[in-house]
Amino acid sequence: MKTLIKNGLAYIEGAIVKMDILIEDTRIALIDNDITADADEVIDAAGMHVFPGFVDIHAHLRDPGQTYKEDIISGTRAAAKGGFTSVCAMPNTEPVVDNIATVDYIQRRARELGFARVFVIGAITKQSAGEEISEMATMKSGGVVAVSDDGKCVQNAKLMLNCMRYAVNYDLPVIIHAEDYHLAGKGQIHSGKIATQIGLSGIPALAEETIIARDIMLAESAKARLHIAHITTAKSLELVRRAKEQGLPVTCEVTPHHLLLNEEACLSFDTNTKMKPPLRSEKDRLACVEALKSGLIDCIATDHAPHADFEKVREFDHAPFGIIGFETAFPVLYQSLVLPGIIPLERLIEAMSTAPSKLLRLPESGIRKGNPADLTIVDLNQSSVFAAENILSKSKNTPWLDQTIKSKIIYTLLDGTFTFRAE
């Protein structure tokens, strides 16, 4: 099977250049200015961009256990529609991914369905309860790429230190959801002027920053690779900056919603603005944008967190935290950060494709001869309304519902096979 992509503007080695790309079976066979080879399918990508398939290292597929919210089929179909070819599934399923049987189940289902590569992240502690170290050795042998109690945070520093030491033995990065429970309390949104104005309890920035400071120190002691999920505050970024300046293996990610929205979005009491960590102040948001631009933030991750309507359509303080993100991530970031000239398109693509795959040492991504043909073809000039009836995720919990969004994913290819074609 041969597929020829003609006249596209391809992201290759950090630059965008006009190139033809020939795919033979699962791999990129040739990249050149003008390829005339016969092919089973020829795509005229004139006026479109060809990017490496996006890689999301922080997603919730809810399978097993909460498949009324999402499952591996709907989740990976939604990922493919958003241009993602690889996603990493967080372990807070039911049961929790703290054993090899659940790792095997997720990997097998993902291989059978084939809309995206699914890499599994195992729990740090058994049942993510923060009391005993999980079966990291057997999970590693089963293929997990990292450990995390995402959604929860190991509060016991001594246990966390031992977990990190254990993870080092199996060369597994430790991904943290940074939240001091005592400081966060029963907070619903960021502890700031908006929380005071509308009478909701707040989650202080300090709840995130104290855990990040603690875990950087623990990781330095354990010589562990530490990755900070969904970072949100200027002070947190300063802690990461100091760690990197010391040469520590500390990395971090940011979500699209923390780059584009601030605490004022919660004024509407729309539960689609309720996420954890919460939307922070405008100062914090701008710090995240600047850190993404400078490279202090390593990559973008969606924290795709589907919930059912009956869970989100209720009083703000009773609704669960989190929003979906696969299908909106690239368009909203392109529209709000690249089009106004705040960050270059090349930096956005790096942060959504090659950077996250390098960070977790996933199979190499990037448009290069011999690499798997994992590609995303985008028309930056089209616009579309993000309407509920067009969402492939089972869930519709997003603050961008019914909004017109600039740019559109036209094709997604995984191993040379089309996993999404726009209508």
Positions annotated as catalytic residues are 303
Whose tokens are 């997604």? That residue is 412
Minimal CA–CA distance to 410: which of 360, 385, 387, 376? 376
What is the spatial distance between Cα 85 and Cα 53, in angstroms, rounded to a whole number? 5
Per-residue CA distances from 103 to 110, 123, 226, 233 (Å): 11, 10, 22, 33
Query: What letter would DSSP give residue 133?
Result: B
Gyration radius from the chain CA atoms:
21
Minimal CA–CA distance to 403: which of 386, 380, 416, 382? 386
Tokens of 112: 């059978």
**Exposed, middle or buried by CB within 10 Å (0-12, 13-18, 19+), for 385?**
exposed
Tokens of 171: 């060369």
What is the spatial distance between Cα 94 and Cα 66, in angstroms, rounded to a whole number? 7
- Paired strand residues for 304: 59
Per-residue CA distances from 245 to 45, 167, 182, 248, 290 (Å): 42, 23, 30, 8, 17
Minimal CA–CA distance to 334: which of 54, 44, 12? 54
Sign of CA dihedral 86, 93, 161, 322: positive
Q: Please tell me the number of Cα atoms within 13 Å of 113 on its side-chain side.
A: 21
Length of the chain equals 423
What is the spatial distance between Cα 271 and Cα 281, in angstroms, rounded to a whole number? 18
